[in-house]
Amino acid sequence: MSDHSARTGSAGRVFWITGLSGAGKTMLAGHLLIRLAAAGLRPLLLDGDVLREVFGGSAGHGLEERRRLAFNYARLCRELSRQGATVVCATISMFEAVREWNRANIPCYTEIYLRATMAELVAQDDKGLYRRALAGEIRDVVGIDIEAEEPRNADMVFDRAQGLSPDEIALRVIEYVGLQVNS
């Protein structure tokens, strides 16, 4: 527990939602925010697309730039949780080293991995990202020409094939961490 949370009695927590683009991270994060609020918390959402803009909208999409940004996201989550915040971070989080750092440095850390096949992601490609990458129009797309390291130690893994709605997954996450939802 950090000095701040020890003084204030306000230990925060981090829900780290990871998966490839189009896996449903942002959708799940929205439902999880609602469930956390119903449990009496005031959660904060950190979405990878928004964080990229905040931490360096001009940063490229290459491997090292992505690694640097991912560690920035992790350090921000740690700092907010030290101050008692409940943070929901939805990010591709393609590096096992970042997720291991989170486990070692964020006391109340829950990792949720949304797994989907490339066929499922291409079929749901609202941003046109995969279509453009497969056509050779863009490069540095995670899952196409940049490999993502699949989480080895996620606390919870949900496959798209399970057919669970984002709200059903959010409820399972709430139950997993033992929070009570107010009626």
* Cα dihedral sign, 115-60-46-7: positive
- pLDDT for the residue numbered 91: 95
Asked if residue 50 is part of any domain, the answer here is: yes
Residues 6 or more apart from 96 whose CB is under 8 A from it? 149, 151, 152
pTM equals: 0.89
| 58 part of the active site | no
Asked if residue 73 is part of any domain, the answer here is: yes
Asked if residue 136 is part of any domain, the answer here is: no
Asked if residue 183 is part of any domain, the answer here is: no
Could you tell me the mean pLDDT of each successive run of 10 residues in the chain, 183 residues long? 39 95 95 95 92 72 84 95 97 94 97 95 89 91 89 96 95 94 65
Long-range contacts made by residues 122-130, C-beta under 8 angstroms, separation at least 24? 124/22, 125/22, 126/22, 127/21, 127/22, 129/21, 129/22, 130/21, 130/22
Q: Which two tokens stand for residue 161?
A: 């094939």
Asked if residue 68 is part of any domain, the answer here is: yes
Asked if residue 131 is part of any domain, the answer here is: no
Say which CATH number the domain at 59 has: 3.40.50.300
How many domains does one find in the chain? 1
Domain coverage including residue 100:
3-117+147-173
Which of the residues 81, 93, 165, 183 is marked catalytic? 93
119 burial level (CB within 10 Å; 0-12, 13-18, 19+): exposed
**CA end-to-end span of the chain:** 30
